[in-house]
Amino acid sequence: MASVKHLLGIKELSAQEIMLYLNSAGSFKDILKRDIKKVPALRGRTVVNLFLEPSTRTRTSFELAAKRLSTDVINFSAPSSSILKGESLLDTALTVEALGADIIIIRHSSSGAPHMLSRHIKAHLINAGDGTNEHPTQALLDAFTIKEKKGGFEGLKVAIVGDIIHSRVAKSNIYCLKKLGADVRLVGPATLLPEEFRELGVSTTTSMDEGLEEADVIMMLRLQLERQGKGFFPTTAEYFRQWGLSKKRLETAKPDAIVMHPGPMNRGIEIASAVADGDNSVILEQVTNGLAVRMAVMYHLDERKEQ
Amino acid sequence: MTKQLLDSKEIDRSLTRISHEIIEKNKGAEGLCLIGIQRGGVHLAERIANKIKNTEGADIPVGSLDISFYRDDFRIRQPSVIGRTDMPFDVEGKKVVIVDDVFFTGRSIRAALDAIMDMGRPALVQLAVLVDRGHRELPIRADYAGKNIPTSRENERVEVLLEEDGHEDSVILTPVTGEGRSAGEPEGEVNNG
Amino acid sequence: MRILITGGHVIDPSQEFAGRADILIEDGRIKTFAKEKKLRNNQAQVIDAEGHWLIPGLIDMHTHLREPGFENKETIKTGTLAALRGGFTTVCAMPNTNPVNDNPGVTEFILKKARAEGHARVLPIGAVTKGQMGEELAPLYMMREAGCIAFSDDGRPVANPLIMRRALEYAKGLDALIISHAEDPVLSDGGVMNEGLLSATMGLKGSPAIAEEVMIYRDIALSELTGGRVHIAHVSTLGGVRVIRQAKERGIAVTAETCPHYFSLTQDAVCGFNTSAKVNPPLRTRRDIEAIKEGLKDGTIDIIATDHAPHGRAEKMSRQFDDAPSGISGLETALSLSLALVEEGVLTEMELIRKLTQTPARILRVDGGTLKEGMPAELAIVDPQRRSVLKAAHLKSLGQNTPFDGMEMKGAVIKTFFGEKIMEWGQE
């Protein structure tokens, strides 16, 4: 049984712990389908969304998930925070904790920021994305979506496409899917996909056709447009020609392959609209599943006592 | 020392009686549904539904309910996988019979009532239990009880073992030693209220 | 006052001596160095050094004393005390203070403060460029007059090759040494740890080994062109060692140092975002460590320096990895970590002590690092066998930032002599 107090990354989790979250998420998803989409499970708890990097989608998802569990939620985001006044991240987090936070959800542009806080903070921490390190709840919701659609992970061919090195989503997914037994291939330009990743037990290729061949799952990553002009790739048009997921490219994968994207999408840059809105796409279901998985994470972390 | 309170025959006889009483009290099977509380209540609800089908020829829908999210002891609960709540019917306007194995403090039933109310507005809710061991902490009573068994609140544990879980049907009473629960502590996995 | 140290195993590379010897100290100077024979105790206080090593006071060519400007991290007083604790009697103070030591006023301040409060000898290193900005040369001649023994923009490289060329040309006229922090800032591109799979999977920006190698090559080439003397600070990479080795084979007068952490720890020490192991240049790989040891062994790397870089606890340990300052508080662990090289057979005891005494003195062209008769009594008594668990909180330095916290260290300084001052160190 899971024993860690925080959710800092998938790297630190065992396959068993991952499965605990995935197995419980279904029960939380059921709640979301009811008329009364709320349970008193964490009544009286306080959840603080400490989002020090702009994000609406993830913050909203965590906020709603927390509310569905009957917690009180406080949003503490970058523009309004005292971080702008020069307060350190640790001081801000200690202040939030002193206000009575039981669970702190942290997003920060520095890799390892939640790990640093975990050495000083008693509240449960959930990493909602740290720099280019990890985004564990995204990987859990992706795994939950795959499990729902494909039944399991063993031997499943999953292609992750795009800016791998700068993607915390990609990294958490690599760790998660490897632990669950999937066959993971990484696809992207060599400037954004170091071959060292092979040491993690995945294959790498710069060829989209090779990467998508017979794939069961295609995970498209968001291309950070600011990388353009830094020598990683020449233009977005050229990028789409090589690594964009078009209707035609999709035919390389298995007919029942599912197409995933963590959002927000750059339509026409990494993914064609026809694919994003097409039959193979599970992109909107990922959003719904995100709520269920985040509820499961908060619920189970709350069970963990001081170690 | 473990003591057997009910054997397989007695359990079956109790369930048969409860099935009859449910039909009698509700004047037939019309609008009835059974909701078993995870985990012990679910199998019992299915057995009762079968008995009613055999005598009345009526198919009564059976749901399973996990009350984890509604418990009042979440501050001291142990990490556990959430059981599946499976309601293949709408409770709105139904005559709902909650089925549980051991009736103790009443807290589980309170949680189950809240969970059911969040799913809709039943016409009425009744409670059927295999064993009532007393020591209520809430004003809740059973409409149907297989057997009333006086127990010691702190020092004894009542367990219902069923074939469906790989046991021989029996209800046993075991003494709780050492780390036994004290008054006010939550009802554990085994000893549902 | 007379002190007789007797029975110790004396290692003095400046006299090519390693063996039993008695040393008589009188009024803070070495009066008699008696090889292979016993001195009589004529009214001297006797220190029995049986089973211990007696070595010249160590010289650290690379120390950050932080004063003026960062007295929360270290002061001249605390830094020099930490030096004595580690067996160092001379430390070279890097100029990245606030204000930067880029003018004779700051140099004089440091020397004055060291005379008043310092426990050990402080030799200031001046900045190569004004404010260490890499743009305009600092007044090297006047700083030299004021007491700077070398020049460096340490902490940041002299990025512009033309400025480095001019600096070497100008320094040559002064016969001054330029110490190069060899890092191509364009290639290192803000990296905070070694570039590789680990940096990629931790989501930390990597600083590639090539950034060091390329810059070492540039500075050696400029040294060859200009005839200016260059010393490569804190070599951390296999490629760097290779470039220096090739230069030396061609007869170029380059010298180089490495630091104990570059032969003791790999990049794995930063796992878990451990900021105490964040250092610049970053900790590298097993292969680099092997190359560094090879370089120490064959003389490619001339000396061992500490790059003692103390920081306050809050800034070092309570910030996210990207924002935490780089550096290790190294004065008090350097000797123990270096003794492991003798144990492993990389260096002989003579070679090791030479890299910590005679050679830095020679590169800096200063006295010290010797037990010759008539020289100031600067020496340390070391128990090479003593084992103890390092406790960062027990360091004399204000900077308790060390990745070796909690590790067992073998070998300890038990007494340090600095002139008439004798410091005795406890077990902790």
Min distance C236 CA to chain A CA atoms (Å): 21
Looking at the domain assignment, is residue A248 inside a domain?
yes
- Is pLDDT of C36 > 90? no
Do C34 and C77 touch, CB atoms closer than 8 A?
A: no
Query: Is the confidence at residue C54, as pLDDT, over 60?
Result: yes
Residues in a beta bridge with A76: A50
Pair A168, A69 in one domain: no
Enclosing H/E stretch for C243: helix C238-249
Contact status, residue C191 vs residue C282, Cβ threshold 8 Å: yes
- Tens-digit pLDDT profile for residues B46-88: 999 999 999 989 999 999 999 988 887 655 556 677 777 888 8
CA distance B41 to B99: 5
Q: Percentage of chain A surpassing pLDDT 70?
A: 94
CATH number at residue A68: 3.40.50.1370
For chain B positions 36-75, those within 8 Å of chain A (CB to CB) are 66, 68-70, 74
Give the domain range for residue B46.
8-73+82-149
Q: What type of residue sits at position C154? A: D
Which amino acid is located at C163 in the chain? I
Is A127 a residue whose pLDDT tops 50?
A: yes
Residue C250 burial class via C-beta count within 10 angstroms: exposed 0-12, middle 13-18, buried 19 and up: exposed
A278 and A161 belong to one structural domain: yes
Looking at the structure, tell me whether residues A156 and A197 fall in a common domain.
Answer: yes
Average per-residue pLDDT in chain B? Answer: 87
pLDDT of B184 above 60: no
| Residue B185, pLDDT above cutoff 80 | no
CATH 2.130.10.10 fits C2-54+374-424, yes or no: no
Do the domain assignments include residue A9?
no
| Domain identity same for A26 and A114 | yes
Interface test with A, best of B65, B69, B87 (most A CBs within 10 A): B69
Contacts of A192 in chain C (CB under 8 A): none
Is 0.85 exceeded by the ipTM? Answer: yes
- Torsion, Cα C338 C343 C348 C353, to 10 degrees, reads 30
Range A132-137 average pLDDT: 97
Share of chain B above pLDDT 90, in %: 64
Q: How large is the average pLDDT for residues C10-18?
A: 96
Query: For residue B162, is it within any domain?
Result: no
Q: Which chains touch C (3 or more CB pairs under 8 A)?
A: A
Superfamily the domain C57-364 falls into: Metal-dependent hydrolases (3.20.20.140)
pLDDT value at A2 more than 50? no
Whether residue A73 is found in the same domain as residue A177: no
Task: List all residues 6 or more positions away from C388 whose beta carbon is below 8 Å from its beta carbon.
Answer: C408, C409, C412, C427, C428
Tokens of C328: 């290790």
Would A186 be classed as within a structural domain? yes
Mean pLDDT of B165-190: 66
The answer to whether chain C touches chain B by having 3 or more C-beta pairs less than 8 angstroms apart is no
pLDDT at B140 over 70: yes
One domain, residues A101 and A142: no
Is residue A4 domain-resident?
no
User: Higher model confidence: residue B69 or residue C339?
Assistant: C339
Question: Residue B106 sits in a domain of what CATH number?
Answer: 3.40.50.2020
Distance CA B36, CA B69 (A): 16
Mutate to test the interface with A, among C186, C187, C268, C318 (most CBs of A within 10 A): C318
Residues of chain C with CATH 2.30.40.10: 2-54+374-424
pLDDT band at B153 (very low <50, low <70, confident <90, very high): confident
| Average pLDDT for chain A | 92
Question: What mean pLDDT comes out for the span C195-223?
Answer: 96
**A2 vs A21: CA distance, rounded Å:** 9
The pLDDT of residue B180 is above 60: no
Q: Which residue of B has its CA nearest to A21?
A: B81
Examine the domain organization and report whether A113 and A167 are in the same domain: no
C319 with A88: Cβ contact below 8 A: yes
Q: Which residues of A make CB contacts under 8 Å with C?
A: 11, 88-90, 108, 110-113, 115-116, 119-120, 130-134, 165, 168, 171, 194, 196-197, 199-200
Cβ within 8 Å, pair A134-C203: yes
The residue of chain A nearest to residue B64, with distances taken between CA atoms, is A27
- In this complex, do C322 and A110 lie within 8 Å of one another by their Cβ atoms? yes
Domain with CATH 3.20.20.140 in chain C: 57-364
In chain B, how long is the greatest CA-to-CA distance? 49
Residue B186 has pLDDT above 80, yes or no: no
Please answer yes or no on whether C203 and A200 come within 8 Å at the CB atom.
Answer: no
pLDDT of residue B74: 55
**DSSP annotation string for A142-188:** HHHHHHHHHS--TT-EEEEES--TT-HHHHHHHHHHHHTT-EEEEES
Phi, psi of A17, rounded to the nearest 5 degrees? -65, -40
For A113, the token pair is 């920021």
Q: What is the pLDDT of residue B182?
A: 41
Of the candidates A28, A35, A300, which has its C-beta nearest B79's C-beta?
Answer: A300
- A266 and A294 share a domain? no
Nearest partner of B62 among B115, B18, B98, judged by Cα: B98
Domain match, A192 and A127 both: no
The DSSP element (H or E) to which A67 belongs, if any, is: helix A57-68
Answer with the residue of higher pLDDT: A231 or A26.
Answer: A26
Q: Judge whether B123 lies within some domain.
A: yes
Evaluated on CA atoms A66, A67, A73, A77, the torsion sign reads positive
| Contact state of C318 with A88 under an 8 Å Cβ cutoff | yes
Number of domains in chain A: 2
pTM for the model stands at 0.87
Q: Does B119 touch chain A (CB under 8 A)?
A: yes
CA distance B8 to chain A (A): 33
User: Residue C87's pLDDT band (boundaries 50, 70, 90)?
Assistant: very high
Give the pLDDT confidence of C273-285 residue by residue, as tens digits.
Answer: 999 999 999 999 9
Domain limits for position A82: 15-134+287-303
Are residues B85 and A1, on separate chains, in Cβ contact within 8 Å?
A: no
State the Cα–Cα distance between residues A219 and A200, nearest whole angstrom. 18
Q: Binning pLDDT at 50, 70 and 90, where does residue B189 land?
A: very low
Cβ atoms B66, A27 nearer than 8 A = yes
Q: Which of A90, A133, A196 sits opposite C196 (nearest CB)?
A: A196
Query: If you count residue pairs, one on A and one on B, with CB atoms under 8 Å apart, how many are there?
Result: 51
Structural domains counted in chain B: 1
Q: Based on the fold, state whether residues A238 and A141 are members of the same structural domain.
A: yes
Average pLDDT of the segment spanning A194-218: 95
Tokens representing C253 are 């007068």
Determine whether the interchain pair B83/A304 forms a contact, defined as Cβ–Cβ distance below 8 Å: no
A111 and C275: CB-CB below 8 Å?
no
User: Is residue B165 a part of any domain in this protein?
Assistant: no
CA atoms lying within 13 Å on the CB side of residue C324:
34
Nearest-angstrom CA–CA distance, C152 and C128: 5
Contact A89/C196, CB-based, under 8 Å?
Answer: no
Higher pLDDT, C142 or B89: C142
Q: Tell whether A216 is covered by a domain.
A: yes
Which residues on chain A are in Cβ contact (under 8 Å) with C197? 194, 196-197, 199-200
> Do residues B96 and B87 make contact, with C-beta atoms less than 8 angstroms apart?
no
pLDDT at C40: 77
**A119 to chain C: which residues are within 8 Å by CB?**
317
Residue B192 has pLDDT above 60, yes or no: no
| Per-residue pLDDT tens over the stretch A29-66 | 999 988 889 999 999 999 999 999 888 899 999 999 99
Query: Is A145 found in the same domain as A36?
Result: no
Whether B124 is covered by a domain: the verdict is yes
Task: Tell me the catalytic residues of C.
Answer: 307
Distance, in Å, from the CA atom of C303 to the CA atom of C308, rounded to the nearest integer, reads 15
> Are the Cβ atoms of C318 and A111 closer than 8 angstroms?
no
Domain match, A148 and A273 both: yes
